[in-house]
Amino acid sequence: MIYFCNIPQTIMITKLWGDLNAVIKILTVCNISGSIAVCKLISFWYQRNENDYNLLLDNNISKTFRPLLVNGYFSYDVQSSPYYEIIFICQFFSILFAATAYSSVDAFFAVLIFHLCGQLTNLKNHLIRLPKETSTDRNDTFLKTLSIIVLKHEYLERFANTIEDSFNLMFLLQMIMSSFVLCLQGYQLIMITTDSTISIIDLIFMIYFTLCVSFSLFLYCYLAEILKNKSLEIGDAVYESDWYHLPYFKSKDLLLLMVRAKQPFKITAGKFTRMMFHVWDNFQVLMEILTSANLLTILACVRLFGLWYYKEGIFQG
């Protein structure tokens, strides 16, 4: 995947350095998203960062008669057989591998979170039934059952911390890179709306690609929000139970569990910020500011005033 797609694309960027739109299109569609996909896969396997991912057809730059799935520069003639067929097949499987890596890590994270939330729901129901089941028991069944619940809660907390340690760096990297991608995509959308020659297929693909990047971040915030709410429900379960049927020396033991449950399970982005709905809202506000006032304005001015140079002269807007 790196040899047949990313390295040729990087070389293509150097070849097209004078064309701002072409460079941005290569960065937004392939290079940056490829970095996210590879980082997800490497973070999932080794919990560290890497770069590379390739995506879909880019035929505006290619000048070959038979376009490749991912445009890039090769030091040999890729139009001749069997080079074209070999590279085409390798790029196809590279894209398939990158897409699988991109989506499978998200799916696995969702499975882990839903499993953890299911365990918390079972623990909540067990805690609600605890006073009624042990109120008339004169033995120490209440304390034994409560200790099992506490140990189970500690086990689930360790499980949540393991998920957090495994994915937090990946989330931080994806938030940063997705912010950059969305800014560049916003610039491209502005340029496309002023270009009457753009095809509707390219426009639909760009909008779809932007929505996919945004949905990926929304998914993380949504799952983290569910986990936080489910962990807080443990404290609510004590309040909802028939604790008033217990002797006072038993009911006061439930207070410690309520206090502990006030600290929700959390998923963070690099230990920097919690992944919750308000983070998604803040991210959307940040993207509005960036796309309306900062990066897009700069890029548009660069294109308008010809500040991006060809090798032979000034960029032609």
Residue 31 clears pLDDT 90, i.e. is over it = no
Q: Please classify residue 170 by burial: count the beta carbons closer than 10 Å to its beta carbon, then call 0-12 exposed, 13-18 middle and 19+ buried.
A: buried
Beta bridge partners of 53: none
Q: Output the pLDDT for position 212.
A: 79
Pick from 11, 2, 134, 145: nearest CA to 72: 11
245/132 Cα distance (integer angstroms): 7
Which of the given ranges, 156-165, 190-199, 250-259, 264-273, has the highest pLDDT on average?
156-165
Rounded Cα distance, 262 and 256, in Å = 10
The residues pairing with 269 across neighbouring beta strands, listed in sequence order, are 273
Residue 301, amino acid? C
Token pair belonging to 38: 């590879």
DSSP bridge pairs for 314: 309
Structure tokens at 303: 């294109």
Taking Cα atoms as reference points, which of 32, 39, 75, 76 lies closest to residue 54? 32
Lowest mean pLDDT among 10-14, 50-54, 71-75, 188-192: 50-54
Q: How much is the average pLDDT of 150-160?
A: 91
Residue range 25-35: mean pLDDT, rounded: 65
For residue 176, the model assigns a pLDDT of 81
| pLDDT recorded at residue 112 | 93
Rounded mean pLDDT of 102-119?
90
Tell me what the mean pLDDT of segment 140-154 comes to. Answer: 85
**Average confidence (pLDDT) over 52-61:** 41
- 91 in Cβ contact with 72 (< 8 Å): no
For residue 274, give the 3-state DSSP assignment: strand
| Tokens 């699988």, residue located | 100
Residue 15 clears pLDDT 70, i.e. is over it: yes
Q: How large a percentage of the chain has pLDDT more than 90?
A: 8
State how far the Cα of 249 lies from the Cα of 125, in Å rounded to an integer: 22
**Could you give phi then psi for residue 72, rounded to 5 degrees?**
-165, 170
Find the mean pLDDT for residues 82-93.
85
The first and second tokens of residue 15, run together, are 């070849």
| Residue with tokens 């569910």, as numbered in its chain | 226
Say how far apart CA 120 and CA 142 lie, in whole Å: 20
As a whole number, the mean pLDDT across the chain is 74
List the domain boundaries for the chain: 2-304
Q: Is the pLDDT of residue 127 over 50?
A: yes
Q: Looking at residue 268, what DSSP letter applies?
A: E
Sequence-distant (≥ 6) Cβ neighbours of residue 294 within 8 angstroms: none
The pTM of the full predicted model, rounded to 2 decimals, is 0.65
CA dist 287 and 289 (Å) reads 5
Residue 170 is predicted with a pLDDT of: 86
Residue-wise pLDDT for 202-240, tens only, equals: 778 777 877 877 788 888 888 988 999 999 888 888 888
Cis peptide before 264 (omega within 30 of 0): no
DSSP-derived 3-state class of residue 229: helix
Q: What is the mean pLDDT of residues 292-300?
A: 53
Q: Which of 59, 77, 80 is nearest to 68 (CA)?
A: 59
